[in-house]
A = this chain, B = another copy of it.
Amino acid sequence: MCLFEANTTLVMAGDSVTDAGRARPVAENRKEDLGKGYPALVDALLSACRPDLQMRIINAGVSGNTSSHLLERWDEDVLSFHPDYVSCMIGINDIWRQFDNPHLYHRHVDFNTFLKNYEKLISCTVPKVKAMLVISCCYMEPNRDEPFRAMVDQYNAGAQKLCDKYGAIYVDAMAAFDKGMEFYHPCFYTWDHVHPQLGGHMVIAKSFLKTAGISLDN
**Which positions in A face B, CB cutoff 8 Å?**
7, 9, 28-32, 34, 40-41, 43-45, 47-49, 51-52, 54-56, 96, 99-104, 143, 146-148, 176, 179-180, 182-185, 187-189, 191-193, 197-199, 201-203, 205-206, 210, 215-217
Contact = CB atoms under 8 A, between A and B. Distances in A.
A184 B47 CA distance: 9
Specify how many copies of this chain sit in the oligomer: 8
Contacts of A179: 51
A48 B217 contact: no
Q: SS class of chain A's interface: helix, strand, loop or mixed?
A: helix
A40 B199 CA distance: 8
B51 A187 contact: no
Contact of A199 (B48, B176, B189): B48
Contacts of A191: 191-192
B216 A99 contact: no
Contacts of A148: 185, 187
A69 B4 CA distance: 33
Contacts of A215: 217
A146 B147 contact: no
Contact of A101 (B30, B192, B198): B30
Contact of A103 (B7, B146, B180, B206): B7
